């Protein structure tokens, strides 16, 4: 096996509704197989603080949850908070986001499949409200994606099923 | 006080047994629909109704990044939920060979006819499952038209899981595996009821 | 030769039914949604209809009612994987003549057509 963009050091798979913040330079954070969910790769490169969130739904509507990043409206501020608590400077945090697809080979008439679109809107709005810049994104469409963030270099990669990862 | 808790426990145990019995009957019917369609005996190899954290549900279809062919059906009527049928791509090719008399090539992707055949297979399994539940409980449930997907395992199921996560962090799931005796055809049949679906069925069953 | 209209959103099921019926000599037309079926019925006036129940863009039960409104003598058999009693009763009340359960065999499909227009 040749070493490509994906490193073999610490890997953290961030599951549905979960988030992870790290400060070392040898970890790869990943959201594996995002469909309608939106993955956020967040970095303060200068402070070497990195975070990833796996957003499932747009709005909490005041509902409580054990999952830190289940909802965009509460998950985005929570991610920023945890990064700042780990030494990041808020104004330096940058987001790269991917996901929000409508998965279907045939016509998806079920409204459930519209969740992706609403997640994209909600994450974009929450980032804007927090004053965080989204510097690049790979959103929508009908294909699933994996989002990876390599701490240290701060490089972010997106891949579709069976395809080589592309830098975001 | 102690008496009540014992009774509650008994009641919960009874409800679990009834629920397992109901879904097992439905699944037997669903598998018989598949069996008639492909003209081969198919049997249930594993069946487990349980409650899991949402993140764990998505791994029931396969490893998160594994390519899968999946059919999604919504459940409508007196209660709602989701049904997913999933196969490894090579199994889907073999199934299409049985249904259409000719195996498609995976490289070229599925044609409209092949997608429709997969969708119809899911539709028959889902409809058989729901009508069996309906016959026993008199609860009217029907499937929405099927949506066919071919993508990463985690991606094909996450919209359905997201829908259920609106209610809770944990998700009720009936995890079923089925296959032909020669194991040439193996698949996953998942029922993901909204919490009220189980309640409505148990309620009607007790009447 | 008598004509049959096959209505199903699944191309696979239309193909199967069409093949079964044209092999024994029927002239077959197809429609892919309930709405399309209602329109096609008005222009083609088939001798009978095989009508799927689960379809997007107007389901089979609604299409059944619309077609029977236009032609109270329309001969229609419902095709469905749902064998549930309540749906069968509703369709029979709305004037369906027969029920074909999916997955169907050639004997059952041809039999239903013969029963309607035989």
Query: What is the domain partition of chain C in residue ranges?
Result: 3-117
- pLDDT at site A3: 40
Mean pLDDT over residues C20-28, rounded?
96
Chain B contact for C97 (CB, 8 A cutoff): no
Mean pLDDT over residues C87-107, rounded?
91
d(CA A101, CA A93): 25
Tell me the DSSP string of C79-101.
Answer: EES---HHHHHHHHHTT--EEEE
More confident residue, B206 or B38: B38
CB B122 within 8 A of CB B147: no
Mean pLDDT over residues A105-112, rounded?
64
More confident residue, B54 or B83: B83
Highest mean pLDDT out of A139-148, B161-170, C96-105: A139-148
C11 CB neighbours in chain B (<8 A) are 112-113, 116
**Structural domains of chain A, count:** 1
C60, pLDDT greater than 70: yes
Q: Average pLDDT over chain C, rounded to whole?
A: 93
A31 labelled catalytic: no
Query: How do B170-180 and B186-193 pair as beta strands?
Result: antiparallel
- pLDDT at site A112: 75
Q: Is B52 exposed, middle or buried (0-12, 13-18, 19+ CB in 10 A)?
A: middle
- pLDDT at site B14: 84
Query: How do C3-7 and B81-87 pair as beta strands?
Result: unpaired
The residues pairing with A120 across neighbouring beta strands, listed in sequence order, are: none
B159, pLDDT greater than 80: yes
For chain C, the chains sharing at least 3 beta-carbon pairs closer than 8 angstroms are B
pLDDT grade for B181, boundaries at 50, 70 and 90: confident
- pLDDT at site A2: 39
The residues pairing with A13 across neighbouring beta strands, listed in sequence order, are: A30
**What ranges in B39-78 are assigned the alpha helix state H?**
54-57
CB C115 within 8 A of CB B48: no
Question: What proportion of chain A, given as a percentage, has pLDDT over 70?
Answer: 91
B163 CB neighbours in chain A (<8 A) are 112, 115
d(CA C112, CA C100): 7
Residue span of the structural domain in which B39 resides: 2-206
CB A134 within 8 A of CB A80: no
Mean pLDDT over residues C25-31, rounded?
96
Q: Do C82 and B142 touch (CB under 8 A)?
A: yes
Chain B contact for C86 (CB, 8 A cutoff): yes
More confident residue, C28 or A113: C28
CATH of the domain at A41: 3.30.1330.200
Chain B contact for C29 (CB, 8 A cutoff): no
Grouping H, G, I as helix, E, B as strand and the rest as coil, residue A97 is: strand
A6, pLDDT greater than 70: no
The two tokens of residue C97 are 């003549």
The nearest CA of chain B is from the CA of A92 a distance in Å of 31
CB B195 within 8 A of CB B186: no
Identify which of A70, A104, A108 has the shortest CB distance to residue B165: A70
B92, pLDDT greater than 70: yes
Of A37, A56, A57, A147, catalytic: A37
Q: Indicate whether A122 belongs to any domain.
A: yes
The residues pairing with C101 across neighbouring beta strands, listed in sequence order, are: C80
Mean pLDDT over residues B173-197, rounded?
91
Q: Average pLDDT over chain B, rounded to whole?
A: 90
Residue span of the structural domain in which A96 resides: 10-162
Grouping H, G, I as helix, E, B as strand and the rest as coil, residue B190 is: strand
Q: Indicate whether A34 belongs to any domain.
A: yes
d(CA A118, CA A111): 11
pLDDT in tens, A24-63: 999 999 999 999 999 999 999 999 999 999 999 999 988 8
Topology adopted by domain C3-117: Rossmann fold (3.40.50)
Mean pLDDT over residues A93-105, rounded?
92
Residue C5 sits at the vertex; the CA angle it makes with C3 and C10, to the nearest 5 degrees, is 145
Mean pLDDT over residues B8-18, rounded?
82
Query: How do A27-34 and A145-150 pair as beta strands?
Result: antiparallel
- pLDDT at site A107: 56
Question: What proportion of chain B, given as a percentage, has pLDDT over 70?
Answer: 96
d(CA A107, CA B143): 15
Identify which of A56, A65, A103 has the shortest CB distance to residue B149: A103
CATH of the domain at B112: 3.40.1550.10
Grouping H, G, I as helix, E, B as strand and the rest as coil, residue B43 is: strand
B19, pLDDT greater than 50: yes
For chain A, the chains sharing at least 3 beta-carbon pairs closer than 8 angstroms are B
Q: Indicate whether A167 belongs to any domain.
A: no
Q: Indicate whether A5 belongs to any domain.
A: no
3-state helix, strand, coil in chain A (%, to 5): 20, 35, 45
Say which DSSP state C104 is in: P
Identify which of C10, C12, C84 has the shortest CB distance to residue B135: C84
ipTM of the complex: 0.90
d(CA C18, CA C60): 18
Chain B nearest-CA residue for C102: B124
- pLDDT at site A4: 45
**Structural domains of chain B, count:** 1
The nearest CA of chain B is from the CA of A18 a distance in Å of 9
- pLDDT at site B33: 93
Identify which of B37, B135, B142 has the shortest CB distance to residue C85: B135
d(CA C20, CA C43): 24
Say which DSSP state A71 is in: B
A22, pLDDT greater than 70: yes
CB A157 within 8 A of CB A96: no
Query: Given the structure tokens 């594994």, which residue do they identify?
Result: B66
Mean pLDDT over residues C67-85, rounded?
90
| A112-126, A131-145, B9-23: least confident range | B9-23
Residue A111 sits at the vertex; the CA angle it makes with A110 and A117, to the nearest 5 degrees, is 125
d(CA A123, CA B35): 45
- pLDDT at site B51: 92
Most C-contacting residue of B96, B142, B204 (CB-CB within 10 A), to test interface: B142
């Amino acid at each position: 096996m040749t070493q490509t963009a994906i490193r073999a050091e610490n890997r953290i798979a961030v599951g549905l509704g979960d988030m992870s913040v790290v400060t070392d330079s040898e970890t790869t954070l990943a959201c594996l197989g995002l469909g309608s969910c939106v993955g956020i790769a967040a970095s303060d490169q200068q402070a070497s603080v990195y975070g990833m969130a796996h957003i499932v739904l747009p709005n909490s509507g005041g509902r409580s949850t054990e999952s830190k990043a289940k909802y965009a409206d509460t998950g985005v501020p929570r991610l920023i908070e945890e990064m700042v608590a780990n030494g990041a400077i808020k104004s330096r945090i940058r987001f790269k986001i991917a996901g929000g697809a409508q998965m279907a080979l045939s016509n998806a008439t079920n409204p459930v499949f519209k969740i992706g679109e609403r997640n994209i809107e909600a994450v974009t709005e929450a980032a804007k409200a927090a004053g965080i810049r989204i510097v690049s994104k790979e959103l929508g469409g009908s294909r699933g994606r994996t989002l990876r963030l390599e701490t240290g270099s701060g490089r972010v990669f997106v891949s579709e099923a069976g395809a080589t990862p592309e830098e975001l | 006080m102690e008496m009540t808790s014992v009774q509650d426990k008994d009641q919960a145990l009874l409800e679990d047994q009834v629920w397992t019995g109901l879904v097992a009957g439905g699944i037997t019917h669903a598998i018989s629909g598949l069996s008639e369609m492909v003209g081969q005996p198919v049997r249930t190899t594993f069946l487990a109704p349980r409650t899991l954290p949402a993140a764990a549900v998505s791994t029931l279809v396969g490893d998160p990044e594994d390519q899968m062919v999946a059919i999604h059906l919504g459940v409508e009527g007196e209660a709602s939920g989701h049904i997913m049928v999933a196969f490894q791509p090579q199994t889907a090719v073999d199934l299409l060979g049985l249904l259409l008399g000719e195996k498609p090539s995976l490289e070229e992707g599925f044609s409209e006819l092949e997608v429709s055949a997969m969708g119809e297979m899911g539709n028959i399994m889902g409809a058989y499952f729901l009508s069996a539940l309906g016959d026993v409980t008199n609860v009217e449930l029907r499937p929405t038209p099927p949506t066919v997907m071919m993508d990463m395992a985690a991606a094909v199921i996450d919209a359905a899981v997201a829908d259920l996560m609106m209610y809770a962090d944990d998700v009720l799931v009936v995890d079923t595996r089925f296959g032909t005796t020669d194991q040439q055809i193996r698949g996953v049949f998942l029922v993901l009821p909204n919490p009220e679906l189980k309640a409505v069925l148990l309620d009607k069953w007790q009447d | 030769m008598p004509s049959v209209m096959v209505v199903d959103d699944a191309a696979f099921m239309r193909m199967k039914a069409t093949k079964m019926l044209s092999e024994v000599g029927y002239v077959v037309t197809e429609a892919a949604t309930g709405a399309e079926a209602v329109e096609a019925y008005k222009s083609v006036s088939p001798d009978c209809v095989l009508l799927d129940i689960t379809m997007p863009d107007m389901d089979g039960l609604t299409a059944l009612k619309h077609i029977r409104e236009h032609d109270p003598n329309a001969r229609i058999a419902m095709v469905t994987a749902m064998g549930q009693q309540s749906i069968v009763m509703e369709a029979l009340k709305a004037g369906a003549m027969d029920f074909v359960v999916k997955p169907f065999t050639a004997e059952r499909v041809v039999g239903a057509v013969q029963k309607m227009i035989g």
